[in-house]
Amino acid sequence: MTKNRFQKPTQKPGSSLGSLLSRSLQLSGAALPAEPGESGQQMMPLSTLMPNSRQPRRFFDPVSLQQLAESLKVQGVLQPLMVRPLDAGHYEIVYGERRWRAAQLAGLTEVPVLVRELSVAEAETISAVENLQREDLNRYDEVTYKLRLVAQLFEITPIEAVQLLKQLRAQPDSQPERITQIEHLFAQLGREQWRSFVTNGLPALRLPELIASAVQNGSLDYSKAVLLARAPQQHHKTLLRRVLDKNLTHAELREVLAKLEPVPGPGAAPLATIKRQLSARRLNALPADRRQRAEALLSELAELLND
């Protein structure tokens, strides 16, 4: 069973992720999820369940999945999945997709579920909270889930949530009530204050797709990903392969980046080429029509630069 990465030996009442989940459900008016063994849990065929296409977490480590599948063959699925009804007798998985995938590998035909009538927004909130409890969650997905909770808190889009967080970070006295709400949210999530999240977390969303994918599948450490992203884009693929193949340390990666040739800015390469080729002798050696055209272009360029 995956551990709760935020759980502490002693917690004040109302400070756990479980209380956040319960509070979000109560505020939304949805029924609270039952504990395992309570009424409401039922067995459901795997074929009727569908993964959540909106879930940011798309990578599931195949080795870990196989290990879980071997365990399920012996013990079965002990913790129920939460699902919400769709059309035509199908149900969308709110949380528990990893167990669903492992159950398929184990050859099971059904799993225990909790069926809840939830809106898309409610389901995404619950999914985000549940996934944030996972120790194996990578930094990219963690940032995405936390941003989703901020967006849900203020009923705005994730893009608007990014803008809001940056604004509040730059102007802390502008909206004290919202800052209090955000501080309360991050206090329940633990591990990271919201200001640190803005500074150190949000940059994860700007990672190039190639580097972000490596972070998501667990092959690249987030801190190394940030370093890689600073390199010119044309070097990303080669550098990523080198980091993964040779398991470069942070210090070694910095040394490699420091030795990269600077990339000319826009227009620098053509300008350098023209400067090398341009001379009176080269112009005079051109055929008459091409020399006339070149002189006209040079005259036009001079006028543009003098404007």
What are the tens digits of pLDDT across the range 159-199? 999 999 999 999 989 999 999 999 988 988 877 899 999 99
Let me know whether 194 and 212 are in one domain. Answer: no
The string of pLDDT tens digits covering residues 271-299 is: 666 776 777 777 777 887 777 778 778 77
Joined together, the tokens standing for residue 59 give 């990578």
Distance CA 264, CA 274 (A): 15
**Higher pLDDT residue, 64 or 277?**
64
C-alpha distances in Å from residue 157, one per residue of 6, 25, 88, 121, 162:
26, 20, 30, 11, 9
In a domain, 235, yes or no: yes
Domain CATH code at residue 103: 3.90.1530.30
Domain limit, last residue, from 119, 153, 185:
119
Let me know whether 143 and 222 are in one domain. Answer: no
pLDDT at 36 over 50: no
The string of pLDDT tens digits covering residues 44-59 is: 999 999 998 877 677 7
Let me know whether 176 and 238 are in one domain. Answer: no
Task: Provide the residue type at 174 as one letter.
Answer: S
Please tell me the total count of domains within the chain.
3
For residues 250, 255, 261, 263, the Cα torsion angle rounded to the nearest 10 degrees is 30
* Contacts of range 171-180, beta carbons closer than 8 Å, 24 or more positions apart: 178/154
Over range 261-269, report the average pLDDT: 56
pLDDT at 131 over 70: yes
Let me know whether 196 and 217 are in one domain. Answer: no
Do residues 136 and 2 lie in contact, with contact meaning Cβ atoms separated by under 8 Å?
Answer: yes
97 is catalytic: yes
Listed residue (77, 127, 67) closest to 103, CA to CA: 77
User: Could you tell me the pLDDT band of residue 91, with boundaries at 50, 70 and 90?
Assistant: very high
Task: Give the pLDDT score at 2.
Answer: 45
Range of the domain at 54: 32-119
Q: What is the mean pLDDT of the chain?
A: 81
Task: Give the pLDDT score at 179.
Answer: 94
Joined together, the tokens standing for residue 85 give 């009804």
Helix axes 209-216, 139-154, angle to 10 degrees: 100
Let me know whether 90 and 58 are in one domain. Answer: yes
In a domain, 185, yes or no: yes
Q: Which of 92, 97, 122, 130 is catalytic?
A: 97
Task: Give the pLDDT score at 19.
Answer: 55
C-alpha distances in Å from residue 223, one per residue of 52, 228, 243, 260:
29, 9, 12, 19
The residues, any chain, with a CB within 8 Å of residue 61's CB and separated by 6 or more, are 136, 217, 218
Over range 93-97, report the average pLDDT: 91
**Higher pLDDT residue, 157 or 137?**
157
Let me know whether 82 and 95 are in one domain. Answer: yes
In a domain, 272, yes or no: no
In a domain, 300, yes or no: no
Let me know whether 211 and 252 are in one domain. Answer: yes
Do residues 266 and 239 lie in contact, with contact meaning Cβ atoms separated by under 8 Å?
Answer: no
Between CA 227 and CA 233, with CA 228 as vertex, the angle to 5 degrees is 135
Let me know whether 55 and 95 are in one domain. Answer: yes
> Strand, helix or coil at 41?
strand
Let me know whether 47 and 75 are in one domain. Answer: yes
In a domain, 27, yes or no: no
In a domain, 268, yes or no: no
Joined together, the tokens standing for residue 56 give 């940011």
Let me know whether 214 and 194 are in one domain. Answer: no
In a domain, 288, yes or no: no
Let me know whether 36 and 111 are in one domain. Answer: yes
In a domain, 200, yes or no: yes
Distance CA 75, CA 131 (A): 23
Domain limit, last residue, from 55, 85, 119:
119
pLDDT at 218 over 70: yes
Task: Give the pLDDT score at 134.
Answer: 76
Domain limit, last residue, from 119, 153, 177:
119
pLDDT at 102 over 60: yes
User: Could you tell me the pLDDT band of residue 24, with boundaries at 50, 70 and 90?
Assistant: low
| Ramachandran angles phi, psi of 85, nearest 5° | -70, 140
pLDDT at 72 over 60: yes
Task: Give the pLDDT score at 266.
Answer: 55
